[in-house]
Structure 1
């Protein structure tokens, strides 16, 4: 019998679905999503399902989780040439990213609300043969209703926050009821595997996997834009600060002002995590007394700072510089994905707050592929040291590239484990 907490959620979601739908659809509409696609949140499909092909459904939350599985879908598609793939996610940004990097035989839909009506419509149309959930995107009814259809299910890249784990411990019956639906649970590390078992995930189905973000392909880049940007920069030295959050740009700009005293032609490419903060960051650059160009005005790199406040162009900017500072790390945010930087062949700098990628940064530091910094002075010293010593910079870049190459073979292993656990027919 379903636990009381689950039954309460089913009842509450039935009552609240009109309000939740209004909020979700309004958010997508503000992001420019067409009305017909917004109704995917209510389970109304906008793409057909191939009736003759097995369908593997991947469900992720947003951009980071979606990026993590694209390469995996590619490998599984190679092993399962008859299969089709469905990706669901919740944000307009993730939908735009998937559209740019869509693997073969794959479609995207916005994830249905976790309520009876939307899920019934969604599952009735798509009838997935297997479902793979990513990280912590665990909606109770979505899990149980998919399981009730007889669909084989897996959780990959499993990562729960300390707060989530504490909450699951308070409701052990509900945790067991939800986690028992999975035929395989692959965690990011050993500590998370132990935590999953402690909160009543079936121990015989939990195993350490690998952080899939380390296996995602390199970010796309636009060669025409790259050519124009290089022409605009000429022979100027460049460093990049990407995925910065509120309170971090001031530190980065202070570091850049210090660097300009030694390298007056140095250009900083500043890429805020959320491009809609572009006007705010423009004000911070002006307050720092620095000249700038801005991508949303159609500018190319120039001035002392180039504000890259657009979506989908990060791979192009990474190709312009050999030194990248990753934000979300000077404050207790948890850090961001260093693999994208390493795959671009750049040296990785980051603040100390990297709990989301702690094991990764530890290994990269040990191999000389990354450096952690604490404040503006530290950033300026690290960047300056690399600019002063081309041989040292090349050694860090080579270590970063080697780190990513050593992990690519693991992707085939993950794909094979999923194909076996989900009883998908491999290629003859």
Structure 2
């Protein structure tokens, strides 16, 4: 089955390069560093006996950031490789860690490319984040003699049913994992059902609960809030196509009741920044762009068209709507605004964050809305009631505090794998 799967990847290569070229029309970085996608041009001994952490894009990179920092501190003499698959993820790795880690793109799921990568970077342990389940990558890791571990593993019911339809491909892959640190007992059961060894699966919670809000970050958020002035401020974060229109329509309703209100709008993908700026103006709303250092003081919408600042931006708002949820994307990280003690709003599409959203909802820190009218109504209710707003924010933050600890448990499992390897 994996031979057929590999043959498909080789057949798809021309189309994958074409896709990069087409995506490069809006995001030029996709037209760069193509050799890394095939692991071409590396020396055979680029690194020796390294640790390899693989994240996909910005969200996974930010989730992995505390883990990477701890690995750098605990294993200072071990080279650390961090891979992503997107330019935005690449930018985050470089901004967070600089030359303290070796960063390249993860090669595509082509056996030859993966073999070249393993030969060049010689990992002793490979840590993949969340749902990065790739049969050829897993096989290449084991063929190289390295340990393989999943951290912060999640598996929605939809994804589980998809994987279960390919047992001849998926079951051998799952059996190759030496340890799986997953978020919930339900997800642990799903991984075992797909073929993971039960004794290797550990439900330890989500490392996303272990984020920290340091004083420098708090200072930046406070300074930005001071620039906005004394008025109601809400943020719509990580929005996707099809969400900006209802978000802006909801803001129009908020403005009808509270004319001085400000919306911080944060599109998920940078190639959409100009498009969203045009959309805001088409709606008759005044806008300031953060990338141009324009003041948010006297506008109705502040377009946060920069990368890597979302966590800080949550701290400058009174409450937060998290996107990817009014459209069937599956939602994004609800814990970042919760950590700031902000009431959290979301759409109904939450299959990527089922357990976390349930915890927040049960605690009274999450409001689920289905459309622009419900979004506007919830916003107006909370913005008009400081006591309720603070109460929901504290409830959300309490969930974050109560569920910390997955990072330490994950690091212990990593230590055990390195001990076994050595």
TM-score (norm 1): 0.87
Q: What is the DSSP-based 3-state SS (H/G/I as helix, E as strand, rest coil) of the residue aligned with 1:102?
A: helix
With over 3 angstroms needed to count, the CA separation of the structure-2 counterparts of 1:48 and 1:14, relative to structure 1, is same
TM-superposed CA distance for 1:386, in Å, is 2.6
- Residues 1:348 and 2:331 are matched in the alignment: no
- Corresponding residue to 2:416 among 415, 420, 426: 420
TM-superposed CA distance for 1:135, in Å, is 2.0
Superposition pairs of residues 172-321 of structure 1, within 5 angstroms: 172-218=167-213, 229-230=224-225, 232-301=227-296, 302-321=298-317
With over 3 angstroms needed to count, the CA separation of the structure-2 counterparts of 1:50 and 1:286, relative to structure 1, is closer
- Residues 1:154 and 2:149 are matched in the alignment: yes
TM-superposed CA distance for 1:295, in Å, is 3.0
- Residues 1:106 and 2:104 are matched in the alignment: no
Q: Is the contact between residue 238 and residue 321 of structure 1 (CA under 8 Å) also seen in structure 2?
A: yes
Instruction: Compare 27-36 and 56-65 and name the one that shifted more.
Output: 27-36
Q: What is the DSSP-based 3-state SS (H/G/I as helix, E as strand, rest coil) of the residue aligned with 1:7?
A: helix
TM-superposed CA distance for 1:137, in Å, is 1.6
With over 3 angstroms needed to count, the CA separation of the structure-2 counterparts of 1:279 and 1:13, relative to structure 1, is closer
Gapped runs of 5+ residues in structure 1? none
Q: Is the contact between residue 329 and residue 353 of structure 1 (CA under 8 Å) also seen in structure 2?
A: yes
Q: Is the contact between residue 350 and residue 371 of structure 1 (CA under 8 Å) also seen in structure 2?
A: yes
Q: Is the contact between residue 246 and residue 372 of structure 2 (CA under 8 Å) also seen in structure 1?
A: yes
Q: Is the contact between residue 70 and residue 103 of structure 1 (CA under 8 Å) also seen in structure 2?
A: no
With over 3 angstroms needed to count, the CA separation of the structure-2 counterparts of 1:123 and 1:252, relative to structure 1, is same
Q: What is the DSSP-based 3-state SS (H/G/I as helix, E as strand, rest coil) of the residue aligned with 1:414?
A: helix
Matches of 1:283 and 1:35, distance apart in 2: 25
With over 3 angstroms needed to count, the CA separation of the structure-2 counterparts of 1:22 and 1:383, relative to structure 1, is closer
Matches of 1:403 and 1:104, distance apart in 2: 35
Q: Is the contact between residue 23 and residue 30 of structure 2 (CA under 8 Å) also seen in structure 1?
A: no
Matches of 1:16 and 1:9, distance apart in 2: 11
Following TM superposition, where does structure 1 have runs of at least 4 consecutive aligned residues deviating by more than 6 angstroms? 219-225
TM-superposed CA distance for 1:32, in Å, is 4.5
Matches of 2:45 and 2:210, distance apart in 1: 30
TM-superposed CA distance for 1:207, in Å, is 2.6
Tell me the C-alpha RMSD between the 2 structures.
Answer: 3.1
Q: Is the contact between residue 58 and residue 88 of structure 1 (CA under 8 Å) also seen in structure 2?
A: yes
Query: Which digits, 9 at most, give the CA deviation of each residue in 1:30-81, with x for residues without a partner?
Result: 7454988432222134998554xx4211112222222221212223333334
Superposition pairs of residues 364-383 of structure 1, within 5 angstroms: 364-383=360-379
Q: Is the contact between residue 343 and residue 396 of structure 2 (CA under 8 Å) also seen in structure 1?
A: yes
Q: What is the DSSP-based 3-state SS (H/G/I as helix, E as strand, rest coil) of the residue aligned with 1:353?
A: coil
Q: What is the DSSP-based 3-state SS (H/G/I as helix, E as strand, rest coil) of the residue aligned with 2:248?
A: helix
Query: Which digits, 9 at most, give the CA deviation of each residue in 1:97-132, with x for residues without a partner?
Result: 111112884221101122233222211111101011
Instruction: Compare 335-344 and 41-50 and name the one that shifted more.
Output: 41-50
Query: Which digits, 9 at most, give the CA deviation of each residue in 1:206-253, with x for residues without a partner?
Result: 232322333344599878976774454222321111112222222222
TM-superposed CA distance for 1:150, in Å, is 1.2
TM-superposed CA distance for 1:182, in Å, is 0.7
Matches of 1:143 and 1:211, distance apart in 2: 22
Instruction: Compare 224-233 and 347-356 and name the one that shifted more.
Output: 224-233
Matches of 1:24 and 1:315, distance apart in 2: 29
Instruction: Compare 6-15 and 336-345 and name the one that shifted more.
Output: 6-15
Q: Is the contact between residue 232 and residue 262 of structure 2 (CA under 8 Å) also seen in structure 1?
A: yes
- Corresponding residue to 1:390 among 372, 386, 390: 386
Instruction: Compare 373-382 and 223-232 and name the one that shifted more.
Output: 223-232
